[in-house]
C-alpha cells in the first residue's frame, strides 16, 4: 500500500485539477458563479491588463467574454508544489482560442498562457488564493481562417443549452 502522505498528495492534486477544469468551464460557458466558486473570497487575480479582487475580476472578465462569440480554455501540464499541507504553488499550461464577430477581426486570437496560482485549502476546500495569468505567445487568426461548421453538427454554446448540460437532462436524441 502506498503511504498515506502519497495518497493525500494525489487527492489534493486531483482536487486542484478539478478546480482548474471548473474554472475553464465557467469561463467558456459564461457561468460566472462557477468561476467565482474557484476562488477564495479574498483572492487576488492578475490577468492581462487587469489586477484586482475576485469581484472586480468577474466584472472585468464578464465584459471581456461578452465581446467574443466563443472561447475555449484548453489546459494541459499541471505542476503542483506543496507549501505545507494546506497550500500549493500550481503552474498550469493552457491555450485559449477566441472567436470574434465578423466585424471585429482583431478578436480572433489564440494565446499560449500559464496560470501561476497559489492554492490554499481552507475549511477543507482547495481554491485559488492568488492567480497570475502569464502570456507566452498570441497568434492572430484571419476571419476567413475559420471553417464554417455545418449546421447539423452539435455545437458549443454559452448557456444551459450547451450539450454538456443538455445531454444529461434530455438524452442525446433530443437536440
Nearest by Cα to 143 from 97, 96, 106 = 106
| 12-16-18 Cα angle (round to 5) | 115
Asked whether position 48 contacts a second copy by CB under 8 A, the answer is yes
Nearest by Cα to 161 from 31, 53, 2, 55 = 31
Asked whether position 75 contacts a second copy by CB under 8 A, the answer is yes
**CB of 18 vs a second copy, minimal distance in Å:** 7
Asked whether position 109 contacts a second copy by CB under 8 A, the answer is yes
**CB of 6 vs a second copy, minimal distance in Å:** 5
For a second copy, the closer of residues 149 and 160 by Cβ is 149
Site for a second copy in 2-31 (CB under 8 A): 2, 4, 6-11, 13-14, 18, 20-22, 24-25, 28
User: Phi/psi of residue 35, each to 5°?
Assistant: -60, -45
Site for a second copy in 131-160 (CB under 8 A): 132-141, 145-147, 149-150, 152-156
What separation, in Å, do the N-terminal and C-terminal C-alpha atoms of the chain show?
47
SS3 137: strand
Asked whether position 89 contacts a second copy by CB under 8 A, the answer is yes
Asked whether position 34 contacts a second copy by CB under 8 A, the answer is no
Amino acid at each position: 500500500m502506498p503511504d498515506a502522505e502519497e495518497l493525500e498528495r494525489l487527492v489534493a492534486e486531483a482536487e486542484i485539477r478539478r478546480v482548474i477544469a471548473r474554472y475553464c468551464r465557467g469561463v467558456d460557458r459564461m457561468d460566472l458563479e462557477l468561476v467565482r466558486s474557484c476562488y477564495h473570497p479574498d483572492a487576488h487575480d492578475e490577468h492581462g491588463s487587469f489586477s484586482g479582487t475576485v469581484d472586480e475580476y468577474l466584472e472585468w472578465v464578464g465584459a471581456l467574454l461578452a465581446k467574443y462569440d466563443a472561447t475555449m480554455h484548453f489546459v494541459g501540464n499541471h505542476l503542483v508544489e506543496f507549501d505545507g499541507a494546506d497550500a500549493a504553488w500550481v503552474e498550469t499550461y493552457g491555450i485559449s482560442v477566441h472567436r470574434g464577430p465578423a466585424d471585429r477581426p482583431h478578436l480572433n486570437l489564440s494565446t499560449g498562457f500559464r496560470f501561476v496560482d497559489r492554492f490554499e485549502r481552507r475549511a477543507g476546500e482547495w481554491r485559488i488564493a492568488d492567480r497570475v495569468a502569464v502570456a507566452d505567445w498570441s497568434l492572430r487568426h484571419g476571419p476567413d481562417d475559420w471553417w464554417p461548421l455545418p449546421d447539423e453538427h452539435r455545437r458549443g454554446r454559452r448557456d444551459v443549452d450547451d450539450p454538456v448540460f443538455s445531454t444529461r437532462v434530455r438524452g442525446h436524441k433530443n437536440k
